[in-house]
């Protein structure tokens, strides 16, 4: 039977098989890093978006490109949470786990919900693979999986059977196993596979034999679900109620790249990226390097320092300039960031944070560079810091970073992280014409010009670019005289300059909209966070309010300066909880700034918060005798 459409399939299935409705599902695909689990997950996500569910995704892959096949180190995973309601996180614990080999089972099985659906490729549970995965006995037969609904599927054999007449080498056939799993899970949850077929045909236009093979395997997976006696039930998740408009699925890194391109376009200037490849930021470089017809220059520099150095040169010349990196790269760029602070040139430092210190956990997430961004340079060197809350929000904050940089003539930190970068969610596509213009006015009038003349409101100095007659001037990292910019070591002048640089950045507070409080404006507990913890905190605080608790959520997207009304909001709650994926960085700033007895909830495992972790901590605080 050919899968014509999801609806027809579901109707057909209904005659023989039970269709159970679920409000939400969390599914995780796990396999060897060469098994194509990211691809399977990505396409399941696209199918799910087209089915109208709200969703959120999280890939989890090893740092090694190809760890030895079948080992625990080589396990790669992709988790998707989809629902008929609003989704804020990729989900705490999967309801469904697809494990392509014993190692994938071993690494992931502890997360699976009791009575969860476990689909395994039975043939891969041979002695050799079990040994590589460090299993003492076969979990499929030793009873250790009894608490789950285990479906032993011959994924390997089904794949090979589907392809046996095509004359492909076994190795090539094996690489299509992910499509078998995708076809099967698509059937299980009534996802349409047409978009995946379309993608395969497009992707393998030049090697149609491979494309055909993948389509055949995908359909075989679907048909197996449909015909086999193993699966008696399939599931459906109704479309979510979502704001009207056109959507696409977007990762944080793509959204970041788009935000910069849009900002440069709205500023009417070319975009220049100076960057050195680093996980998990490189995808922004990749994305932007394809957008040259948007006047985007990408410069893959010889090192991190040259990346920001070239960006500074481009900024001096009038481009919208940025550098993309992760924590280790920020450490290398510190001196150049300070040069940007001293010369008051606009440049964006997009730090896609990862676990540290040092090389740390390249592919795992952490939000532990806040204090680095805030203080990680010599001397008093204030810099604005912005942090997107969700993958799609990366677009808004990248755009906002550019706006602040050119309005205030300052470098700006954008703190994303690995979880946002690789995570994806539906994005309500904005119309370009609705985006605000970013006014850029280069100084051209030599009359009354000084390199450090300041705008009375923003305190920004004029942007006078080479090529402008009569404005020839010199800037540099030496302290300069207020107004003229000439080198000056005068004591009082230095203090004046340090103070005016600080005042300029503090003044950005006027740009920050009033705080949005999710929940009551005053109450028993305020949970306050920043960056990628948004989803987990929002889900947790909603759950707590549903239990009748007076709990609110505030999420900071501006971290320096902090919103002007933050002190007032903090003091309206009896207790303040600050969940962070670090040892307590925002909590330290809040305690110092507002003398508030805020409490941290800290997780440093390279993994995002589970909603339950925040609910548990909040409940404990609410129930503690005070």
Partner 1 sequence: MTTTPAAALNRKDFVTDQDVRWCPGCGDYSILAQVQKVMPELGIARENIVFISGIGCSSRFPYYMNTYGFHSIHGRAPAIASGLKATRPELSVWVVTGDGDGLSIGGNHLLHVLRRNVDVNILLFNNRIYGLTKGQYSPTSEVGKVTKSTPLGSIDYPLNPISVALGAEGTFVARTVDVEAKHLQDVIRRASQHRGASFVEILQNCNIFNDGAWSPLTEKDTKADASLVLEPGKPLIFGKNRDKGVRMNGHQLEVVTLGNGISERDLIVHDETDDGLAFLLSTMQPPKFPTPLGVFRAVQRPTYDEAINRQLTQAKDQHGVGALNELFGRGDTWDVPA
Q: Which of residues 563-582 bind partner 1 (CB under 8 A)?
A: none
Q: Is the peptide bond before 515 cis (omega within 30 degrees of 0)?
A: no
Instruction: Report how far apart, in Å, the C-alpha atoms of 541 and of each of 25, 520, 546, 576, 611 are.
Output: 20, 11, 9, 13, 9
Q: What angle do CA 310, 312, 317 make, to 5 degrees?
A: 95
At which residue do the structure tokens 């002190």 appear?
Answer: 567
Nearer to partner 1, 411 or 600 (CB): 411
**For residues 626 and 612, what is the distance between their CA atoms, to the nearest angstrom?**
23
Q: Which stretch binds partner 1 (CB under 8 A): 29-37, 45-53, 182-190, 588-596?
A: 45-53
User: Which is nearer to partner 1, 53 or 71 (by Cβ)?
Assistant: 53
Q: Which is nearer to partner 1, 217 or 471 (CB)?
A: 471
Count CB neighbours of 447 within 10 A.
5
According to the binding rule CB under 8 A, does residue 97 interact with partner 1?
A: no
Piece of 98-106, 124-132, 473-481, 598-606 that binds partner 1 (CB under 8 A): 473-481
Cβ neighbours of 141 (radius 10 Å): 9
Q: CB of residue 339 vs partner 1: minimum separation in angstroms?
A: 5
In this chain, which stretch among 97-105, 129-137, 289-297, 351-359 interacts with partner 1, using CB under 8 A? Answer: 289-297
Beta carbon nearer to partner 1, 171 or 246: 246
Q: Given candidates 4, 134, 142, 302, which one binds partner 1 under the rule CB under 8 A?
A: 302
Shortest distance, CB of residue 352 to partner 1, whole angstroms? 21
- Rounded Cα–Cα distance for residues 194 and 5 (Å): 7
From the list 214-222, 242-250, 520-528, 560-568, the region that binds partner 1 by CB under 8 A is 242-250
Do 577 and 526 form a contact (C-beta atoms < 8 A)? yes
- The residue among 330 and 581 lying less far from partner 1, judged by its C-beta, is 330
What residues pair up with 58 in beta bridges, in sequence order?
A: 79
10, 12, 17, 52: residue in contact with partner 1 (rule CB under 8 A): 52
Site mask for partner 1 (CB under 8 A), range 248-277, x = bound:
xx--------x--xx--x----x-x-x---
* Residue of 359, 470, 490, 620 interacting with partner 1 (CB under 8 A): 470
Considering the complex, state which of residue 226 and residue 344 has its C-beta at the smaller distance from partner 1: 344
Total of residues contacting partner 1 (CB under 8 A): 73
How do beta strands 385-386 and 411-417 pair?
Answer: parallel
Q: Tell me whether residue 224 or residue 316 sits nearer to partner 1 (CB atom).
A: 316
Q: Name which of residues 379 to 438 contact partner 1 (CB under 8 A).
A: 429-432, 435
Task: Identify which range of 19-27, 62-70, 307-315, 414-422 contacts partner 1 by CB under 8 A.
Answer: 307-315
How far is it, in rounded angstroms, from Cα 275 to Cα 347?
13
Please say which residue, 170 or 484, places its beta carbon nearer to partner 1.
484
Nearer to partner 1, 43 or 132 (CB): 43
- Binding residue (CB under 8 A) for partner 1 from 68, 245, 268, 564: 245
Closest CA to 390 of 540, 263, 527, 249: 249
- Under rule CB under 8 A, residue 50 binds partner 1: yes
To partner 1, the closest distance from the beta carbon of 275 in angstroms equals 11
d(CA 101, CA 590) in angstroms, rounded, equals 46
Token pair listed for 382: 């204030």
Return d(Cα 208, Cα 200) in angstroms, integer.
9
Cβ count within 10 A of residue 58: 26
Least CB distance to partner 1 at residue 439 (A):
18
Identify whether 169 is preceded by a cis peptide bond (ω within 30 of 0). no
d(CA 272, CA 264): 9
Helix (H, G, I), strand (E, B) or coil at 418: helix
Alpha carbon dihedral 62, 65, 70, 75, in 10-degree steps, equals 20
Member of 100, 140, 319, 385 binding partner 1 (CB under 8 A): 319
478 interacts with partner 1 by CB under 8 A: yes
Residue 159 Rama label (left phi>0; alpha psi -120 to 50; beta): alpha
- Between 315 and 373, whose beta carbon lies closer to partner 1? 315
Minimum CB–partner distance for residue 560 and partner 1 (Å): 23
Residue 284 interacting with partner 1 (CB under 8 A): no
CB of 513 to partner 1, least distance (A): 24
Contacts (CB under 8 A) with partner 1, residues 481-540: 486-487
Nearer of residues 133 and 312 to partner 1, judged by Cβ: 312
307 vs 600, beta carbon nearer partner 1: 307
Which residues, at least 6 apart from 621, have a Cβ–Cβ distance to it below 8 Å? 525, 575, 577, 599
Backbone angles phi, psi at 81, to 5 degrees: -115, 120
* Closer residue to partner 1, CB minimum distance, 72 or 291: 291
User: Counting contacts by CB under 8 A, is residue 439 touching partner 1?
Assistant: no
Of 104, 310, 412, 551, the one binding partner 1 by CB under 8 A = 310
Applying CB under 8 A, which of residues 13, 26, 40, 49 lies at the interface with partner 1?
49
Which of 273, 279, 322, 333 is closest to 300 using CA atoms? 273
Query: How many other β-carbons are positioned within 10 Å of the β-carbon of residue 571?
Result: 14
Burial zone of 232 (CB within 10 Å; 0-12 exposed, 13-18 middle, 19+ buried) = exposed
Give the binding range for partner 1 (CB under 8 A) out of 74-82, 218-226, 238-246, 545-553: 238-246
Nearer to partner 1, 44 or 573 (CB): 44
Cis check for the bond before 280: say yes or no (omega within 30 of 0): yes
- Whether residue 357 is preceded by a cis peptide bond, meaning omega within 30 degrees of 0, is yes
Site string for partner 1, 184-203 (x = CB under 8 A): -----------x--------
- Rounded to 5°, angle at Cα 607 from 604 and 608: 100
Q: Nearest approach, Cβ of 71 to partner 1 (angstroms)?
A: 34
Which has the closest alpha carbon to 373: 419, 338, 409? 338
Which of 314/551 has CB closer to partner 1?
A: 314
Query: Considering only residues 58, 96, 168, 311, which one is a binding residue for partner 1 as defined by CB under 8 A?
Result: 311
What is the residue whose two structure tokens read 């998707």?
80
Q: Is 245 left (phi over 0), alpha (psi -120 to 50) or beta?
A: left
């Amino acid at each position: 039977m050919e899968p014509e459409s999801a609806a027809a399939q579901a109707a057909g299935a209904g005659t023989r098989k039970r269709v159970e409705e679920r409000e939400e599902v969390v599914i995780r695909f796990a396999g060897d890093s060469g098994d194509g689990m990211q691809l399977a997950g990505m396409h399941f996500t696209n199918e799910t978006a087209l089915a109208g569910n709200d969703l959120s995704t999280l890939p989890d892959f090893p740092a090694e490109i190809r760890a030895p096949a079948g080992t625990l180190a080589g396990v790669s995973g992709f988790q998707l949470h989809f629902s008929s309601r609003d989704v804020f996180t990729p989900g705490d614990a999967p309801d469904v786990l697809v494990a392509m080999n014993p190692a994938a089972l071993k690494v992931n099985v502890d997360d699976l919900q009791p009575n969860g659906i476990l689909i395994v490729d039975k043939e891969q549970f041979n002695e050799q693979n079990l040994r590589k995965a460090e299993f003492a006995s076969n979990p499929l037969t030793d009873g250790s999986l009894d608490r789950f609904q285990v479906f032993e599927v011959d994924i390997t054999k089904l794949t090979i059977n589907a392809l046996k007449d095509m004359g492909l080498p076994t190795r090539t056939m094996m690489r299509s196993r992910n499509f078998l799993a995708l076809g099967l899970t698509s059937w299980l949850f009534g996802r349409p596979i047409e978009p995946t077929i379309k993608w395969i045909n497009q992707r393998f236009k030049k090697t149609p034999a491979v494309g055909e093979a993948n389509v055949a395997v995908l359909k075989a997976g679907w048909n197996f679900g449909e015909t086999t006696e193993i699966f008696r039930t399939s599931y459906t998740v109704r479309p979510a109620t979502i704001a009207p408009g056109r959507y696409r699925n977007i990762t944080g890194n793509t959204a970041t790249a788009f935000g910069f391109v849009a900002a440069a376009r709205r500023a009417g200037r070319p975009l220049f990226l100076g960057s050195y490849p680093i996980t998990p930021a490189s995808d922004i470089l990749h994305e932007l390097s394809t957008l040259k017809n948007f006047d985007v220059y990408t410069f893959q520099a010889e090192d991190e320092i040259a990346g920001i150095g070239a960006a500074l040169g481009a900024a001096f010349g009038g481009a919208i300039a940025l550098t993309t990196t992760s924590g280790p790269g920020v450490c290398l760029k510190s001196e150049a960031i300070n040069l940007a602070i001293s010369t008051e040139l606009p440049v964006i430092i997009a730090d896609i944070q990862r676990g540290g210190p040092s090389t740390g956990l390249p592919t795992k997430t952490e939000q532990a560079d806040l204090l680095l961004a805030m203080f990680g340079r010599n001397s008093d060197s204030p810099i604005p810091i912005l942090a997107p809350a969700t993958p799609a929000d990366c677009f808004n904050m990248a755009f906002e970073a550019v706006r602040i940089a050119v309005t205030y003539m300052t470098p700006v930190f954008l703190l994303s992280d690995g979880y946002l970068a690789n995570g994806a969610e539906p994005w309500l596509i904005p119309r370009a014409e609705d985006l605000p213009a970013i006014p850029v006015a280069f100084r051209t009038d030599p009359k009354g010009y000084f390199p450090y003349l300041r705008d009375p409101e923003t305190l920004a100095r004029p942007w006078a670019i080479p090529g402008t007659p009569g404005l020839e001037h010199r800037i540099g990292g030496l302290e300069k005289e207020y107004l003229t910019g000439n080198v000056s070591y005068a004591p009082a002048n230095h203090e004046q300059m340090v103070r005016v640089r600080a005042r300029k950045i503090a003044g950005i507070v006027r740009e920050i909209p009033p705080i949005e409080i999710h929940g009551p404006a005053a109450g028993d507990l305020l949970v306050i966070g920043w960056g990628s913890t948004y989803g987990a905190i929002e889900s947790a605080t909603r759950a707590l309010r549903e239990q009748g608790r007076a709990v609110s959520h505030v999420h900071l997207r501006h971290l320096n300066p902090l919103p002007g009304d933050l002190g007032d909001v903090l003091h309206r709650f009896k207790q303040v909880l600050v969940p962070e994926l670090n040892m307590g960085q925002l909590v330290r700033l809040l305690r110092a700034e507002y003398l508030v007895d805020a409490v941290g909830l800290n997780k440093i495992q390279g993994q995002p918060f589970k909603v339950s972790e925040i609910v548990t901590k909040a409940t404990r605080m609410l129930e503690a005798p005070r």
